[in-house]
């Protein structure tokens, strides 16, 4: 692979992700699958780090069938050894890691209930994947980003945070923590030339079935959105590409709503 210039401290305004190696956690289904496919279509190489090995491999196969490059490694983001192994394999294969998209989360399968009824077990599981998993992936990729001279960490939070959506307190709390983590990473990584920003998606449809979603919930969200259609996974791709590219190089610590104008930050 041709060398990629150091753009961490430059005035490069390109919005290209050509040749970038991008770890997409949870890239086997839903919005993560859309990120992986679109990054590949834009010339990047997604490393699909997905706990559902079969789903990850099938996204990689789809990308290859479309003429793109991709690499899938079954990964549990809560398991430091598993993440280290994925990173080692990506480094062996491509020799660099440019972007980390911390997308994996407990979401489509989450148990919704009033806050008094959330089990301790559900709290632990959600915080472990949504928060600690992002921390583990971030700390293990940073040395490789530094060595490669380019680094973008993109965290996925949620517009449920500014809204304070009911019945999902464990999830909303985890996504608020992701916003805090984004600022701390931005602060600690700034002098090392690595940026960290977060995307806050609205209520988004994908090929996945979301447990507990009702017609009424779509109606309520459409009522709040300025743009009157239901958000699709592809609506989130543009912001992710921008945050991964040199064009966003002087922007860090930000949490950006991409939700059809539902909430204000």
Ligand X SMILES: NC(=O)c1ccc[n+]([C@@H]2O[C@H](COP(=O)([O-])OP(=O)(O)OC[C@H]3O[C@@H](n4cnc5c(N)ncnc54)[C@H](O)[C@@H]3O)[C@@H](O)[C@H]2O)c1
Q: Is 169 in the site for ligand X (CB under 6 A)?
A: no
CB of 160 to ligand X, least distance (A): 6
- Judged by CB under 6 A, the residue of 86, 138, 206, 248 near ligand X is 206
Task: Please answer whether residues 72 and 56 qualify as being in contact, where contact means their C-beta atoms are separated by less than 8 angstroms.
Answer: yes
Q: Is 105 in the site for ligand X (CB under 6 A)?
A: yes
Task: Please answer whether residues 156 and 201 qualify as being in contact, where contact means their C-beta atoms are separated by less than 8 angstroms.
Answer: yes
- Judged by CB under 6 A, the residue of 17, 76, 173, 195 near ligand X is 76
Task: Please answer whether residues 145 and 189 qualify as being in contact, where contact means their C-beta atoms are separated by less than 8 angstroms.
Answer: no
> Phi, psi at residue 29, to the nearest 5°?
-145, 170
Distance CA 100, CA 208 (A): 23
58 by Cβ neighbours in 10 Å (0-12 / 13-18 / 19+) ranks as: middle
Spatial strand order of the sheet with 151-156 comes to 71-74, 45-50, 21-25, 99-102, 151-156, 194-201, 255-258
Q: Is 26 in the site for ligand X (CB under 6 A)?
A: yes
- For ligand X, give the closer residue by CB, 60 or 104: 104
Q: Is 260 in the site for ligand X (CB under 6 A)?
A: no
CB of 7 to ligand X, least distance (A): 27
Nearest residue to ligand X, scored by beta-carbon proximity: 30
Strand runs labelled E in the chain: 21-25, 45-50, 71-74, 99-102, 151-156, 194-201, 204-205, 231-232, 255-258
Number of residues that bind ligand X (CB under 6 A): 29
Q: Is 208 in the site for ligand X (CB under 6 A)?
A: yes
- For ligand X, give the closer residue by CB, 7 or 204: 204
What the block records as the tokens of 256 is: 């950006």
- Judged by CB under 6 A, the residue of 86, 173, 195, 204 near ligand X is 204
Q: Which of residues 30-69 bind ligand X (CB under 6 A)?
A: 30-32, 50-52, 55
- Judged by CB under 6 A, the residue of 7, 29, 173, 182 near ligand X is 29
Which single residue is written with the structure tokens 């995307």? 199
Angle made by CA atoms 182, 46, 160, in degrees to the nearest 5: 35
Q: Is 129 in the site for ligand X (CB under 6 A)?
A: yes
211 by Cβ neighbours in 10 Å (0-12 / 13-18 / 19+) ranks as: exposed
Q: Is 108 in the site for ligand X (CB under 6 A)?
A: yes
Which single residue is written with the structure tokens 């921008």? 242
Catalytic positions are 171
CB of 219 to ligand X, least distance (A): 15
Q: Which of residues 134-163 bind ligand X (CB under 6 A)?
A: 156, 158
Q: Is 241 in the site for ligand X (CB under 6 A)?
A: no
- Judged by CB under 6 A, the residue of 133, 148, 162, 246 near ligand X is 133
CB of 52 to ligand X, least distance (A): 4
For ligand X, the binding residues (CB under 6 A) are: 25-26, 28-32, 50-52, 55, 75-78, 103-105, 107-108, 129, 133, 156, 158, 201, 203-204, 206, 208
């Amino acid at each position: 692979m041709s060398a990629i210039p150091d753009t961490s401290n430059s005035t490069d305004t390109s919005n290209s992700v050509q040749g970038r190696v991008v770890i997409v956690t949870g890239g086997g289904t839903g919005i993560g699958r859309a990120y992986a496919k679109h990054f590949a279509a834009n010339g990047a190489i997604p490393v699909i780090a997905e706990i559902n090995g079969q789903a990850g491999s099938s996204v990689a196969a789809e990308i290859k069938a479309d003429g793109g490059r991709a690499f899938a490694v079954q990964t549990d983001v809560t398991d430091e050894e598993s993440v280290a192994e994925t990173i080692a394999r990506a480094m062996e294969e491509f020799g660099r890691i440019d972007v980390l998209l911390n997308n994996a989360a407990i979401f489509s399968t989450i148990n919704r209930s009033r806050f008094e009824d959330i089990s301790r077990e559900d709290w632990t599981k959600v915080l472990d994947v949504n928060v600690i998993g992002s921390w583990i992936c971030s700390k293990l990729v940073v040395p490789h980003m530094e060595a490669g001279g380019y680094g973008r960490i993109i965290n996925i939070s949620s517009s449920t945070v500014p809204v304070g959506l009911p019945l999902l307190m464990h999830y909303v709390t985890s996504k608020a923590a992701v916003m805090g983590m984004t600022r701390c990473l931005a602060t600690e990584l700034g002098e090392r030339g690595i940026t960290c920003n977060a995307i806050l998606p609205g209520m988004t449809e994908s090929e996945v079935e979301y447990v507990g979603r009702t017609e009424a919930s779509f109606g309520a969200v459409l009522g709040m959105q300025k743009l009157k259609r239901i958000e699709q996974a592809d609506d989130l791709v543009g912001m992710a590409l921008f945050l991964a590219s040199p064009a966003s190089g002087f922007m860090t610590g930000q949490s950006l709503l991409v939700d059809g104008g539902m909430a204000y930050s």
